[in-house]
Structure 1
Amino acid sequence: MPNKRTTQAHDRRLVVSALLTVGFFCLVSGKAFTQEPHTISPRLFGFGVAGGQIRYPEPRENYLVRDRAGNEVVARLHVEVATQRIFLMPDGSLQERAFAQTKPTTRRFVTLHETALAERLEKQFPSFRVHPSHRHIFVFNTSPLFAATTRRVLESMMSGVGTYAKAQRIPTREPPAPLVVIMFRTEKEFQNYKRVPAGVVAYYDPISNHVVLYEESKLMRSRPDLGIQQSLSTIAHEGAHQILHNIGVQQRLSRWPLWLSEGMAEFFAPTQLGRRLTWSGAGKVNNMRMFEIESYLRKQRQATDGRVIKETVGATNLTSTGYAFAWSLVHHLSKNERSRFHQMVRKMSELRPLESVHAFPPNAAICQENLQIFKQYFPKGLDKLEQEMIDHLKKQPYRNPFPNANPALVRPVLIN
């Protein structure tokens, strides 16, 4: 089943994801409304303040603060909690300061130019190459091919995701600061930089605003063709999270229902092999996820009774198969329930930091609030919707990404 727990390490990561994933917009009789939201403790994101009264900033509400090097800088208020303020800093990170450490200012907030940020990263990673581009800065000690592929995929995604969002009337903006991508050659270096559960190969950190990943893996050593295919998919997935958070589609420190957040990242993450390893484009068939769905349905041979959608939408954690069904649901809804789906996404884009539809932690493996929200946007029966989703998938052009591979070698990877 899509939401069945796997390993203990996998569960720990997914529980954290569940705690940080919410939504509170609904449709009743075709009209959107909001219910009174709960708040998420900032400590779930790693901040020191436990919680308290929340205040959201006025337009261009800026303060003078000290950065980590002790320099006085202009920072933009992101959210205020109790006696602490969380700021967007000039380097694009979110940082916390006590009231006494801040001073209101009318000075303009300006993020670091890519050259200045690149120089800072060169000092932090002295043995790495640092390559600034138009909207990204790539920091790496990987092979040149891996770095070049990552750069090509993420740079093409940047414009493609923004264009798609605008076409659906989802408000967007330019990223406030260059998007940093840190690539380590080995898993050991990756884990030494920041300890994450075993099996995680990449993540987007909304606090630092960095994508972090590594190149080498057991699969990459035994079957480089399979390894690069899985790596490429993961790079695009984490890049999608970073882009969506920085162009305003998803506000940082806001959390959407897990199926939608991860399904959207997968929707924007399809890649393809050929003469050049490239991004396929927003909404194209994600062959990696189609491969998992095909394998799952072949083994299960179950009736389309709505159970898959119920478990995917209500899940407070997702296995790799759950990610695949989240993608398939987003793909189906975006094509065949377009008006309702994009209305839901636009409303989710209005979610502010630290708000939730239910109190934390969730008290069940299936989040009933997420199911209620989904049914109010898509009122037809889950069994009928599931059959339509399967029929939709069967019509899609699908190329097996592992046509000559031993299935035992093709294992799901953990993404954050």
Structure 2
Amino acid sequence: MAATVVGGLGIPLIDVLAVETFVFREQPFGGGAVAARTVVGQVLLSDSTGGVLLDSVDGGRYLISGDDVVSRFADDAPFTPVTAEGLGERLLEELPPGFRVHTTEHYVIAYDTSREYAEWASSLLESLQEALVRYWTRQGLELHAPRFPLGVVIHRSAEDYQRIARAEIGTAGAVGYYSMRTNRVRMFDLTGSDEVRGGARGPRSGSRREITQMLSVPAAEPLVATIVHEATHQVAFNTGVMQRFADLPLWLVEGMAVYFEAPNAGSSRGWRGIGKVNRQRLVSFRRNLPKWNRNSLTSLIGSDLRLRDARTAADAYADAWALNYFLIQRREEQYVAYVKTMADKKPLEGPEANASASEIARDRLAEFVTHFGPLPELEQEFLRTMSRLK
């Protein structure tokens, strides 16, 4: 997931409702010339300095500083989310020539690879959406249909994907990412990756049979898992499981996505479904158990640092998966109650701007203990259970 740093508009925010056109200054990631951007949308939050949190009609969410606002004016027309057809047109306007659009019930997929691959991806995404919504509804969460059609961009080549990813989020990512800012998933055609092709050269036929064969090999597992992971973020943030730009602990946000990503070589979709053991993450978790110490669990729950630091992220993601898996399997009622509490959090609500890391950790740990009980007892059962998991 491509996260955007939020908060710090300076003063408490107030709820407002507005349909307006904003022109504001925006600087690309990694520097470059500041350019004016025009967005039509609904103001969710505002402060007295003119800073706003804005939902655009195509599902984007913009945190705009008052100093960057060039102009704003109200529109008498009601706020109406863009239609699937309208989002497709917008995507084609933004993307280079050669892209086409494939639309399903919930998704608008712009692609410059084969239509067969777009259809394969859309089938995976629709299956995931259906499974996630059904799962959380059965757990008692009150979900809603996505307010906006869900945008997905699929590039034929990894090079094109990486170039745009660096401009949009400042990094090339892995094989795909979800942006909370644009509300879109961006990826490239996995059948073109070196891992899947095994060094083969020459043109791809792009047939459904070839796609199924290539993505059923073990080397494709982590690649498909990444797509499922990022798509899980998109579904969660658009159906009410979580709220974009809310103050959410990263162990939950990322660990939940890893829980649902479990890959399956041999499947034409490369995805096991919900609740299967994520073998790759389990192997990583167990490999690092000798390094586990009295601070490992508290640091995972109380801070996002281990998950954000590239040097520790791989191990931390495995820990986050393990914790989510354990809580879902052994503390399901408490876990669902905790998720409901997180779902109620509003955008930009959170610690005071001057809160220290220790104060933030204290509050997060207290919230966790309120739902799951004292950490020492839970940690013992957690480590015992996950070390014996088969």
Normalising by structure 1, we get a TM-score of: 0.72
> Which residue of 1 is the match for residue 316 of structure 2?
322
Please identify, of 141-150 and 282-291, the stretch whose mean Cα deviation from structure 2 is larger. 141-150
Following superposition, the deviation at residue 346 of structure 1 comes to 0.7
Give distance in 2, aligned partners of 1:187 and 1:278: 20
Which of 99, 102, 124 is residue 131 of structure 1 equivalent to?
A: 102
SS of structure 1 residue aligned to 2:175? strand
Say which of 299, 309, 323 aligns to 1:311: 299
The verdict on how the C-alpha distance between 1:246 and 1:222 changes in structure 2, with shifts beyond 3 A counting, is same
- In the alignment, the residues of structure 1 paired with residue 117 and residue 280 of structure 2 have an alpha-carbon distance, to the nearest angstrom, of 19
**Cα 1:72–1:156 shift into 2, 3 Å:** closer
Tell me which of 367, 387, 407 is aligned to 2:380: 387
Higher mean C-alpha deviation, range 386-395 or range 116-125: 386-395
Distance in 2 between the 1:169 and 1:104 partners? 38
Quote how far apart the aligned CAs of 1:234 are: 0.4
Match of 1:65 in 2: 21
Q: 1:291 and 1:152, CA in 2 relative to 1: closer, same or farther beyond 3 A? A: farther
Q: Are 2:45 and 1:76 aligned?
A: no
Residue of structure 2 equivalent to 1:264: 256
Task: Give, in whole Å, the separation in 2 of the partners of 1:206 and 1:231.
Answer: 21
Q: Which deviations, in whole Å up to 9, do the C-alpha atoms of 1:266-286 show, x marking residues without a partner?
A: 122223232412433333322
* CA deviation after TM superposition for structure 1 residue 174, in Å: 0.8
Structure 1 residues 80, 72: CA separation in 2 closer, same or farther (over 3 Å shift)? closer
Alpha-carbon distance, 1:294 to partner = 3.6
Q: Contact (CA 8 Å) 2:20, 2:43: kept in 1 or not?
A: no
SS at 2:57's partner residue?
coil
Pick the aligned partner of 2:11 from 19, 36, 52: 52
Does the 8 A contact of 1:142 with 1:183 survive in 2?
A: yes
User: Structure 1 residues 322 and 144 mapped into 2: Cα distance closer, same or farther (>3 Å)?
Assistant: farther
Match in the other structure for 1:150: 121
C-alpha deviations, 1:82-110, integer Å up to 9, x for none? 313332222111245859613275x5422
Report what 2:227 is aligned to. Answer: 235
Per the TM alignment, residue 368 of structure 1 is displaced from its structure 2 partner at its CA by 3.8
Is 1:219 the counterpart of 2:195? The answer is yes
What is the distance in 2 between the residues matched to 1:386 and 1:378?
11
Instruction: Tell me which residue corresponds to 1:403.
Output: none
Does residue 116 in structure 1 map to residue 72 in structure 2?
no
Q: Is the contact between residue 237 and residue 265 of structure 1 (CA under 8 Å) also seen in structure 2?
A: yes
State the Cα distance separating 1:324 from its structure 2 match.
1.4
Does structure 2 conserve the Cα–Cα contact (< 8 Å) formed by 1:128 and 1:139? yes
- C-alpha distance in structure 1 between counterparts of 2:140 and 2:146, whole Å: 18
Note if contact 1:316-1:367 (Cα within 8 Å) is conserved in structure 2: no
> Does residue 348 of the first structure (1) align with residue 342 of the second (2)?
yes
> Conserved in 1, the CA contact under 8 Å of 2:13 and 2:46?
yes
Residues of 1 paired with 2:115 and 2:38: CA distance? Answer: 35
Q: Which residue of the partner structure matches residue 60 of structure 2?
A: 93
Report if aligned partners of 2:141, 2:340 keep a CA contact under 8 Å in 1. yes
Structure 1 position 242, deviation (Å): 0.7
Q: 1 CA distance for matches of 2:134 and 2:245?
A: 24
User: Relative to 1, partners in 2 of residues 1:127 and 1:142: Cα closer, same or farther, differing over 3 Å?
Assistant: same
Q: Which moved more, 1:142-151 or 1:162-171?
A: 142-151
CA distance in 1, matches of 2:258, 2:252: 10
Q: How many residues align?
A: 346
Provide the C-alpha distance between the structure 2 equivalents of 1:271 and 1:334, rounded to a whole number of angstroms.
18
SS at match of 2:85: helix
The answer (yes or no) to whether the contact 1:267–1:283 under 8 Å persists in 2 is: yes
Residue of structure 2 equivalent to 1:404? none
Residue type of the alignment partner of 2:298: K
Is contact 1:312-1:322 (8 Å) kept? yes
Alpha carbons of structure 1 residues 72 and 249: separation in structure 2 relative to 1, 3 Å: closer
Say if 2:143 and 2:239, in contact at 8 Å, map to a contact too.
yes
One of 282, 297, 302 as aligned partner of 1:290: 282
- The one-letter code of the counterpart of 2:334 is R
1:371 matched to 2:365? The reply is yes
Structure of greater relative contact order (alpha carbons < 8 Å, 6+ residues apart): 1
Change (3 A) 1:277 1:194: closer
The alpha-carbon deviation at position 210 of structure 1 amounts to 0.8
2:180 maps to: 206
Amino acid at match of 1:141: D
Contact 1:293–1:325 (CA under 8 A) maintained in structure 2: yes
- How many percent of aligned residue pairs carry the same amino acid? 26
Structure 2: tracts of 5 or more residues without a match = 25-35, 200-213, 308-312
Tell me which amino acid in the other structure corresponds to 1:136. Y
Please give the TM-score of this superposition, normalised by the length of structure 2.
0.77
Change beyond 3 A, Cα 1:362–1:182? farther
Name the CA distance, whole Å, in 2 between partners of 1:104 and 1:255: 31
* Runs of 5+ consecutive residues of structure 1 not aligned to the other structure: 1-12, 21-39, 42-49, 398-416
- Does the 8 A contact of 1:305 with 1:386 survive in 2? no
How big is the shift at 1:370?
A: 2.5
Q: Deviations over 1:106-140 (max 9, x none)?
A: x5422111112112222322212321111011122
For 2:124, the aligned partner's letter is V
